């Protein structure tokens, strides 16, 4: 039972990450490989507050949401000035920069050794896995509802219009940059919340948990599930969490399972880009202009 | 100060070799292609396997390693890029497909060789040489010389050979190049193989000095892209000038903040360049939307 609860918690956290990145990639057409860095910002902000200041978990989650939103907007500032595949390079640099900071600002992040002893989510005097599951499921529901409202509202239709023909959206008087900045802040806020929940559940974080490979994995979830499909990335999130478990069942060690998971993602992305660039369930085909 | 200048020159020549190799791949594909990282990673690990597991002499391992890396590049060109070319895939799709291949290569190598640092060098370092007040190792002197030769060959290939001029024509205007009978597929494959040879040379030179890990391909890509974007990605000379700026930034970062901040300086430089002058210092495409 504990095992199933644990897997469900991870599926929900990765579901929040994938859904928030999908808002970015699938609904505005902006490719980012810096989502794990935003996830890490939330995790570190929340952990630093709960270890050094203390207080209820709601405070640290709120701080992670605000800081995640701020960093999301910060990422958008250079990213939205660039077009096509060069966006990936900008987000790579942002991911690399934050990863370096996680490693080097030891006062806040603990450096390469990481932060240990992060207090767990406690409610009704208990910090059992089931309590964490309820809190994570609540955060997941709030995030998904908020994202659903965004994509089905007039704002969502403007986002799709921007993605399909930005110049047309501009000519219709839509404030393209502002909308993209808002989307980036929302995606950052949800990634920050996911980071906070993750850190409080696992109790220990270090920079390797928020590296480029993790960003690639989150992007893979979105691409494989289908960018622009609301439910596709959620299916992808279940796939990314459960796949290593399946690989453990066929006798691979944990370290090898992680490697082979990435190999399968690599094959899936390459295959999809050749045969079905819009992903399994998606409706948005990547066609970003080159530089 | 003399040592500081010598360090900048050594670093600049190594980065310049990476940058001209990446610039050539960009000229061939018109996309930020991760095949650079795939080949950069594969080449030294193939040499490592040949010299340590197959027990071939080092120079034989390097020669066979070069041949096998070129064979890998040819296979990638025929199986992946030609099918993307046939479908007229946009740069973003080419980039994501090549990224999938890089994920496969990185994780297969990590699964086979492990994630720990390995070294290509099977011999100890000779006492350092003293040239004009600066101290450098034999290996640094040899690798700087080889890197300068590699850069010169790349510039000669692109600017002064018939194949280089045909490559420029074939990638600038495909329809016109086809109409006048340029064998586009053959020219592109040749250009890619020349770039692969340069990447192999750069990877082996760096692999002799610095420990190899499965993530080295990405680190090299960041250095190369930063240099190319600073100098202007459409210009091989610009890539060399950009390499000098990156080396200057990297060495200054190490000098002022310490070695652990060297990577951070490069990422910050890349973001700064893209934020301030997206077209590079010399020339290059305008990456900005709507212009």
Cβ pair B289:A263 closer than 8 A: no
User: What are φ and ψ of residue A115, in 5° steps?
Assistant: -115, 130
CA distance B264 to chain A (A): 5
**Mean pLDDT, residues A97-125 taken together:** 88
CA B284 – CA B232 distance, rounded (Å): 4
Q: Which of A43-57, A168-182, B13-27, B198-212 has the lowest mean pLDDT?
A: A168-182
pLDDT (tens digit per residue) in A208-233? 999 888 888 888 888 877 777 777 78
Residues of B in contact with A88 (CB under 8 A): 32, 92, 95
Domains of chain B: total? 1
Measured between its terminal Cα atoms, the distance across chain A in Å is 52
- Inform me whether the C-beta atom of residue B254 falls under 8 Å from chain A C-beta atoms: no
pTM of the full structure? 0.82
Q: Which domain covers residue B209, as residue numbers?
A: 2-214
* B positions 87-116 inside 8 Å of A (CB): 87, 89-97, 99-104, 106-108, 110-111, 115
Q: Are A228 and A285 in contact (CB under 8 A)?
A: no
- Inform me whether the C-beta atom of residue B275 falls under 8 Å from chain A C-beta atoms: yes
Q: Is residue B271 part of a domain?
A: no
Residues of B in contact with A268 (CB under 8 A): 100
Residue B131 parent element (H or E):
strand B129-131
A256 vs A190: which has the higher pLDDT: A190
CA B124 – CA A68 distance, rounded (Å): 48
CA B86 – CA B167 distance, rounded (Å): 18
Q: Is residue B275 part of a domain?
A: no
Q: Are B222 and B270 in contact (CB under 8 A)?
A: yes
Q: Is residue B172 part of a domain?
A: yes
Q: Is residue B182 part of a domain?
A: yes
* A positions 172-211 inside 8 Å of B (CB): none
ipTM of the shown complex: 0.82
pLDDT (tens digit per residue) in A227-241? 777 777 888 888 878
Q: Are A109 and A52 in contact (CB under 8 A)?
A: no
**Site from A171, A254, A273 to mutate, B interface, most B CB atoms within 10 angstroms:** A273
- The pLDDT of residue A41 is 96
User: Could you list the pLDDT tens digit for every one of the 291 residues in chain B?
Assistant: 778 788 888 889 999 999 999 999 998 888 888 899 999 999 999 999 999 888 889 889 999 999 999 999 999 999 998 888 888 888 878 888 898 999 999 999 999 998 888 888 777 666 777 777 777 888 888 888 999 999 999 999 988 898 888 888 887 777 788 888 888 888 889 999 999 999 999 999 888 888 888 888 888 888 898 888 888 787 788 889 889 988 888 888 888 888 778 778 888 888 887 777 666 656 554 444 333
B290 closest CB neighbour out of A93, A167, A262: A167
Decide: residue A243, CB within 10 A, 0-12 exposed, 13-18 middle, 19+ buried. middle
Cβ pair B264:A97 closer than 8 A: yes
b/e burial code for range A163-199 (CB count within 10 A of at least 16 → b): beebeebeeeebebeebbbbbbbbbbbbbbbbbbbbb
Cβ pair B31:A85 closer than 8 A: yes
């Amino acid at each position: 039972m504990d095992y199933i609860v644990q897997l469900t918690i991870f599926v929900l956290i990765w579901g929040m990450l994938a859904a928030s990145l999908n808002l970015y990639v699938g609904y505005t057409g902006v490719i980012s490989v810096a989502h794990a860095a935003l996830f890490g910002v939330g995790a570190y902000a929340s952990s630093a507050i709960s270890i050094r200041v203390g207080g209820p978990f709601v405070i640290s989650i709120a701080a992670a949401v605000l800081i995640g939103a701020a960093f999301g907007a910060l990422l958008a500032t250079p990213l939205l000035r660039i077009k096509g595949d060069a966006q990936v390079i900008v987000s790579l640099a942002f991911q690399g920069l934050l990863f370096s900071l996680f490693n080097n600002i030891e006062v806040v992040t603990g450096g390469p050794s990481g932060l240990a002893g992060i207090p767990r989510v406690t409610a009704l005097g208990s910090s059992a896995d089931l309590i964490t599951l309820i809190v994570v499921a609540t955060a997941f529901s709030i995030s998904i509802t908020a994202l659903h409202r965004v994509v089905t509202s007039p704002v969502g239709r403007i986002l799709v219009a921007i993605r399909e023909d930005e110049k047309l959206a501009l000519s219709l008087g839509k404030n393209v940059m502002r909308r993209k900045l808002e989307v980036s802040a929302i995606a950052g806020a949800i990634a920050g919340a996911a980071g906070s929940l993750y850190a409080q559940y696992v109790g220990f974080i270090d920079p390797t948990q928020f590296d480029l490979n993790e960003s690639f994995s989150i992007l893979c979830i979105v691409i494989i599930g289908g960018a622009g499909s609301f439910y596709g990335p959620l299916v992808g999130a279940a796939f990314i969490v459960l796949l290593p478990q399946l690989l453990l069942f066929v006798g691979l060690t944990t370290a090898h399972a992680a490697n082979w998971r990435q190999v399968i993602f690599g094959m899936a992305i390459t295959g999809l880009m050749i045969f079905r660039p819009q992903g399994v369930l998606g409706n948005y085909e990547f066609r970003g202009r080159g530089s | 100060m003399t040592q500081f200048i010598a360090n900048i020159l050594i670093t600049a020549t190594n980065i310049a070799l990476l940058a001209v190799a990446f610039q050539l791949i960009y000229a061939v594909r018109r996309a930020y292609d991760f095949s650079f990282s795939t080949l950069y990673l594969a080449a030294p690990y193939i040499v490592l396997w040949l010299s340590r597991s197959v027990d071939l002499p080092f120079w034989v391992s390097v020669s066979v390693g070069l041949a096998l890396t070129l064979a890998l590049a040819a296979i990638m060109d025929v199986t992946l890029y030609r099918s993307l070319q046939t479908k007229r895939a946009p740069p973003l799709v080419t980039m994501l497909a090549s990224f999938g291949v890089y994920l496969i290569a990185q994780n297969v190598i990590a699964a086979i060789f492990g994630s720990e640092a390995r070294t290509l060098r099977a011999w100890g370092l000779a006492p350092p040489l003293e040239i004009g007040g600066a101290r450098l190792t034999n290996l640094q002197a040899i690798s700087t010389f080889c890197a300068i030769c590699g850069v010169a060959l790349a510039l000669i290939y692109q600017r002064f050979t018939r194949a280089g001029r045909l490559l420029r024509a074939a990638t600038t205007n495909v329809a016109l190049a086809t109409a006048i009978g340029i064998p586009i597929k053959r020219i592109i494959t040749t250009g890619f193989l020349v770039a692969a040879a340069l990447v192999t040379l750069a990877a082996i030179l760096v692999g002799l000095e610095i420990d190899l890990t499965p993530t080295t391909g990405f680190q090299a890509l960041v250095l190369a892209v930063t240099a190319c974007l600073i100098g202007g990605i459409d210009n091989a000379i610009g890539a060399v000038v950009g390499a000098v700026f990156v080396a200057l930034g990297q060495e200054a970062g190490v000098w002022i903040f310490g070695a652990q901040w060297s990577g951070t300086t490069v990422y910050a430089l890349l973001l700064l360049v893209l934020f301030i002058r997206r077209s590079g210092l010399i020339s290059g495409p305008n990456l900005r939307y709507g212009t």
